[in-house]
């Protein structure tokens, strides 16, 4: 008969003891994957293709006087607008628009915010209300990316020369499988490619994992150079660097790229960078 009260007293004592003497604090651990993901920006890269000068002019006017002011009213800054440098193999004029977002929620909300903006509608009416038989572009490609962990926030390049001479180099690396794609991303982060680009003053704007696009699995990144001669010199230094030679000698990073594309761009006069 006395056993039950004794056990009750013992349990009560243990509870009080634990309340008064909490467990020792767990040692701090590195930032969790979830926390890191929350700090990584998202990017939308829109690529406009044209077949006439009038299309280019209409879209430029829309981007400069309607899209950029309206987007900035929503707290989104550092919007890049670039022109494609055509070549013998690709003669189609294109405009690239890079917009950063702090979250997917911000990205998803933007379209409704633009549609509710009367100033935006008025400033961009020639583009927005273009007739079906005279569209302001031939088509748009939209790519959605999330920033790498080693460069979670976009940076403005440190260039001050003439914009028409600057080279903004956009690259896309495709991989044979999702696993090898993750391996290539790791090569940039843990492997040290991002750090090497930084050491050699490539003035990277962003590194991003493509989470929605037409050529997946792939990553994309943009570096910037004062002119083509400086670009060639930077890449020569990269290829000759001991870091790159050591990295490419590692068997763990073999065969992680199946196709690469390179596009040379220059910023418009109204681009934020």
Q: Which residues contact 265 (CB under 8 A, 6 or more apart)?
A: 82, 83, 84, 85, 96, 167, 168, 169, 170
How many angstroms separate the CA atoms of 262 and 252, rounded? 25
Q: pLDDT value at position 160?
A: 87
* pTM of the model as a whole: 0.85
Cβ atoms of 84 and 268 closer than 8 Å: no
Residue at token pair 């914009």: 163
In the structure encoding, which two tokens stand for residue 114, read together?
């633009």
CA 12 to chain centre: 56
| DSSP code for 136 | S
Q: Model confidence over 51-63: pLDDT tens digits?
A: 999 999 999 999 9
Q: Which residue spans within the chain are E strands per DSSP?
A: 42-49, 80-84, 94-101, 139-147, 167-174, 206-212, 218-225, 259-267
The rounded Cα 161 to chain-centroid distance in angstroms is 24
Average pLDDT over residues 206-231: 97
pLDDT digits (tens, 9 = 90+) for 69-121: 999 999 999 999 999 999 999 999 999 999 999 999 999 999 999 999 999 99
What's the token pair of residue 33?
């994957």
* Confidence at 246, pLDDT banded by 50, 70, 90: very high
What percentage of the chain exceeds 90 in pLDDT? 84
pLDDT at 37: 53
Half-sphere exposure of 192 (CA within 13 A, CB side): 13
Q: What percent of the chain has pLDDT over 70?
A: 86
């Amino acid at each position: 008969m006395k056993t039950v009260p004794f056990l009750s007293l013992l349990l009560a004592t243990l509870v009080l003891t634990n309340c008064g003497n909490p467990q020792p604090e767990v040692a701090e651990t590195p930032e969790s994957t979830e926390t890191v993901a929350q700090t990584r920006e998202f990017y939308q890269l829109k690529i406009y293709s044209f077949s006439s000068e009038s299309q280019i002019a209409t879209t430029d006017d829309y981007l400069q006087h309607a899209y950029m002011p309206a987007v900035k009213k929503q707290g989104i800054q550092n919007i890049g607008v670039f022109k494609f440098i055509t070549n013998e193999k690709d003669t189609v004029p294109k405009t690239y628009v890079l917009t950063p977002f702090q979250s997917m929620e911000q990205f998803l909300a933007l379209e409704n915010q633009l549609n509710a903006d009367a100033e935006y509608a008025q400033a961009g009416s020639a583009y927005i209300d273009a007739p079906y038989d005279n569209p302001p572009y031939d088509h748009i490609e939209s790519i959605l990316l999330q920033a790498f962990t080693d460069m979670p926030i976009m940076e403005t390049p440190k260039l001050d020369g003439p914009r028409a001479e600057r080279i903004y180099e956009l690259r896309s690396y495709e991989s044979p499988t999702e696993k090898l794609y993750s391996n290539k991303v790791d090569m940039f982060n843990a492997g040290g490619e991002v750090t090497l680009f930084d050491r050699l003053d490539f003035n990277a704007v962003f590194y991003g994992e493509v989470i929605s696009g037409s050529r997946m699995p792939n990553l994309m990144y943009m570096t910037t150079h004062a002119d083509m001669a400086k670009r060639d010199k930077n890449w020569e230094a990269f290829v000759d660097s001991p870091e790159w030679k050591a990295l490419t000698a590692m068997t763990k990073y073999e065969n992680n790229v199946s196709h690469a594309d390179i596009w040379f761009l220059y910023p418009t006069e109204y681009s934020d960078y």
